[in-house]
A and B are shown apart, each in its own frame.
Chain A
Amino acid sequence: MLKKIVTIIIVAVLFSLIACRKAEEYVPELKNYLVIVNTLSETVSFYDLDKDTLYEDLITTGRTPNDLLILGTTGIIVNSGFQGIPALDVIDLSQMKILSRKPLPTGSNPYSIAYMNGNFYVTLAANNMVYVLNQNFLPIDSFTVGKWPEGITAFNGKILVASTGFNIQDYTYGDGYLYVVTKTKAGFSKDSVKVGKNPQIVKIRDNKIWVCCTGDYAGNTGALYIINPSTLAIEDSIKVNFYPSDFEVFSNGTVLFTDFMNGIFRIRNNSLIDTVMIVYGASRIIKDGNTGLVSVFNASDSNYIFFVDPDSNIVYDPINAGLAKGVGPIGIFRE
């Protein structure tokens, strides 16, 4: 009898130990993820940078995802809504789950999103305006900004908007402007500065405003503009003989930019341009420390995320992000 009891106790202890080990395995680990928005498959994949593992298609987005903003553990995807309804997808990145989908005006073609002082600002390109949403993503205000606004960011209590001048009727590009918008008691005050053709992206780097003008895809190639945020004076402009779709600024002023048809390029000393890699589909760039991460889109073959060292100009450790995914916006999520 005693033997039996001892055996049962031993077995029970072993089981509980196993159970403890199992439980330990479910203790949440610190996350170090690359968040990948697949614009064609309309899904979000997560790449564990520590485990070198891709978790494919964990979330399905709305229709035509175009931008990703990460705020703490929340990811917000802007769905432009072609073939459907425009919407924001609000994602809990730590749980890798979609929390809610917030509709935006039908046919407004939302493009990009920024966050400032508790409010979200979304460019509605087809409506030539910016929607202001509160923490619950309910619209509380709006303001117009030129024609067909796309890129948007916030800096020093101001909203910066890249207005492309795009005309949907004839697919031409008018003058491009950077708008600087400040909320006042009376409404919104706006300043603007004229930049090159088709300004699609605006970023703040080293306390300067950087505007990426893509060009009109019809002979007028693009340029990067560096603008003083206080005076709105254009301090420098870097002409590139390409149609840049995204850029990032690294230490020593080295710039990486992508051209969808031609590849990844580097600018040093604000003028010298050399080729990092000739590749079709180079689209978005983000910065992780002093490393550039580039998403490489493909509609029929493998998609990749490339890691680029801007100093050595070396591309290393590409991540295969899946077949025909159409990788687009990417972001880093760390706990």
Chain B
Amino acid sequence: MELFLLLFVSFLPFFEIKDTIYSYAYLDNLLSNFRAPYNYSIKSLAFYSTPIYSNLLVFKGYNIYSPSLGGTLPEENLVLFDGIPLINPMLGYQELSLIPANLIGIAEVLHSSSPISGLTGIGGVINLIPLKNPLEVKVSNLRKELKLGIGPFKDLSLTVFHETFTDSFPIEYENVTLWVKNTHDKKTGFLAKFSQGTVLVIKRKAGAPGPLGSLSTGERDELSAGSNFNFSLKKCNLQLSSNYTLQTYTSSGTSDIHKTLFLRGVIKGKEVETGANLYGANSTKIGNHIIPEIFGILGIKRMLTQKTELTATINLIYNPTFKTLFPNPSISLTNNLKFDLFSFLTVSLNHRNPTLNELYWPEDNFARGNPELKPERSFNIDAGLRKVSPKSYLNLFVFFKKINNGILWVQEDKYVPKNFASLSHKGAGLEAVFKPRKDLIYAEFSLNLQDSRLKGTPFIYRPNLTLSSSLGMGPTKIELSYIGKRPERPNSTKMLPPVWMINLSMEKSFTLGGQNLAVRAGVENLLNKNYEIVRGYPLPGRELFFEISVNRRM
């Protein structure tokens, strides 16, 4: 096991990553489920319009992005930013368009249904890792960005950022030319990194247009402040995390204010963890609600043979609001087949609590919450083979998730969330990275086959086939993503057409005044198609960009 982790960590510099889920787990030497190898991938995010990373599909609306791992619902995924749990208790997840695109350099994805120390994530975990280039200026026909990094001064490095997106763009839709309006999005904030933790603050003002054909539109003013700190104590480690969100949504002259707070404290010993989570909201819609939760994790790790290791954890989570005590067990077997070839198998149970919106949304013209909701339960199997070497990385995996009591908003006279769904997701994938010659050529390839079903019928928006690939040749980078056709409506033959996204860029590096500078120009969505990842939200067409950065990393 250690050998595998050592190999993996030694492999990480290939991606130039320091703070990863894996490195956290390894360096902390703590009992989180990350210690066992799961389906795992790292993607460098060089383009904005990339819709798919491994089997992470981002459902893009207008100023609303929702993550789905392996076909799961956005509420079933955990999003971290550099370790900060971006949890919005009303939504159940943090919509991703809040995070400035120019701040994210890498996404690491754990395609597994393991809870991180009591945080549920039936679908898995997405950790967004910032780039550390001190200066970046980017302009395109759709957006403008500026990022400035200062430090480190003693223990602190600070990055300030500003990003704007256009207020309208044209689309070609069913042979009709339309303008999508009120799409403006202005984000300003800072990221502070200390030796013991991270703070991220984002202020945003964005339009909130509805889908095509919708008569409603609005404005969102948002503030998000998250933090994550780790303190080493004598025989244990203390982790404190928080995430605060404030959103003012204005539409038709009326405003709603939603404040949410997530707090988390964990004490981690060698084989035991214990802690508490607090999910709170103060909203003009749902009122005041606080849901506390306490948990304890116990784990063992044993070498069964010289090459086979067993890791078993049991995560006991008590929630007084739902009067539930969930023992979420996870059993993993890893086997070192050869020097650099490993197999893994994990079987686990997990759960997701209803979100505060799902529970308490008051009856309005469209929807009402359901206070009778119960938590979802999931049964999960992940297995695979992984080959790690200094110049290549191969991962072949299969997964299966069965979710009972699944919560979905059902259309009745109004939309009502119900525990009616039996959802299943199964799939297989191949990920490969090759870097035969340093800095000159590299290739990333990911192929995913998947079948997601709701009560036996294909689940909407979930494709059977996705593909993402990147090819770098010296200064040139080409990226091709494909999302296969996917159900547009429940139990229907109606399909959203496939997505072919092609992005490319050229980069020139040089030294000026002792600084490594890079100039990059490129085009996103080369085919200039207005793809609908989510029905009713055709996305912008071709984007031409120009970027200057200092110490940009590939």
Contact = CB atoms under 8 A, between A and B. Distances in A.
Do A and B make up one complex? yes
Interface of A: 38, 40-43, 57, 60, 63-64, 80-87, 101, 103, 106-107, 109, 126, 168-171, 217, 260-261, 280-281, 299-300, 322-326
Interface in B448-466: 455, 457
Given A41-B492, A322-B491, 12 more contacts: A40-B492, A42-B492, A57-B493, A82-B214, A84-B212, A85-B176, A101-B174, A109-B213, A299-B412, A300-B418, A300-B420, A325-B492
A38 B491 CA distance: 11
Contacts of B173: 84-85
B61 to A, nearest CB: 11
A301 to B, nearest CB: 8
Nearest to A41: B492
A323 B421 CA distance: 13
Contacts of B490: 40-41, 299, 324
A297 to B, nearest CB: 9
A280 B412 contact: yes
15 contacts: A40-B492, A43-B489, A81-B213, A84-B535, A85-B176, A86-B213, A103-B174, A103-B176, A107-B215, A217-B413, A260-B413, A281-B412, A323-B455, A324-B457, A324-B490
Nearest to A245: B413
A168 B215 contact: yes
Nearest to A101: B174
B211 interface: yes
B253 to A, nearest CB: 8
B410 interface: yes
Contact of A41 (B174, B214, B489): B489
Interface residues of B, number: 32
A261 B174 contact: no
Contacts of A85: 173-174, 176, 212-213
Contacts of B421: 300
Given A84-B536, A106-B178, A169 B252 contact: yes
Contact of A63 (B213, B365, B411): B213
Given A106-B212, A109-B215, A126-B215, A83 B536 contact: yes
B209 to A, nearest CB: 12
A128 B420 CA distance: 39
A59 B244 CA distance: 48
Interface in B490-508: 490-494
Contacts of A217: 413
A82 B457 contact: no
B376 interface: no
A38 B490 CA distance: 11
Contacts of B488: 42
A42 B365 contact: no
Contacts of A169: 252-253
Interface string B155-196: 000000000000000000110101000000000000000000
Contacts of B492: 38, 40-43, 57, 60, 325
A323 B365 contact: no
Interface in B513-543: 535-536
Contacts of B457: 323-324
A82 B176 contact: no
Given A82-B213, A85-B173, A109-B215, A42 B410 contact: no
Contact of B494 (A43, A107, A126, A324): A43
A148 B404 CA distance: 42
Contacts of A80: 213
Contacts of B489: 40-43
B410 A170 contact: no
Contact of A83 (B212, B410, B411): B212
Nearest to B216: A168
A324 B174 contact: no
B493 A60 contact: yes
A77 B431 CA distance: 46
Q: Which of A106, A168, A217, A299 has the most CB of B within 10 A?
A: A299
Contacts of A106: 176, 178, 212-213
B494 A41 contact: yes
Contacts of A87: 174
A83 B176 contact: no
Contact of A300 (B178, B410, B413): B410
A326 B411 contact: yes
Contacts of A322: 491
A261 B412 CA distance: 8
Contacts of A280: 412
Contacts of B413: 217, 260-261
Contacts of B253: 169
Contact of B411 (A57, A168, A299): A299
Q: Which of A41, A86, A169, A260 has the most CB of B within 10 A?
A: A41
A60 B412 contact: no
A281 B493 CA distance: 23
Nearest to A108: B213
Interface in B470-504: 488-494
A325 B491 contact: yes
Contacts of B408: 300
B479 to A, nearest CB: 28
B213 A107 contact: yes
B174 A40 contact: no
A83 B213 contact: yes
Q: Which of B176, B490, B535 has the most CB of A within 10 A?
A: B490
A281 B413 CA distance: 8
Q: Which of B174, B212, B489 has the most CB of A within 10 A?
A: B489
Contacts of A300: 408, 410, 418, 420-421, 455
Interface string B202-213: 000000000111
Interface in B23-65: none
Nearest to A167: B252
Interface string B418-433: 1011000000000000
Given A42-B489, A84-B213, A171 B174 contact: no
Contacts of A171: 365
Contacts of A43: 489, 492-494
A83 B535 contact: yes
A126 B173 CA distance: 20
B552 to A, nearest CB: 39
A90 B445 CA distance: 44
A41 B489 CA distance: 5
Nearest to A58: B493
Contacts of A323: 455, 457, 491
A324 B491 contact: yes
Given A103-B176, A300-B418, A82 B491 contact: no
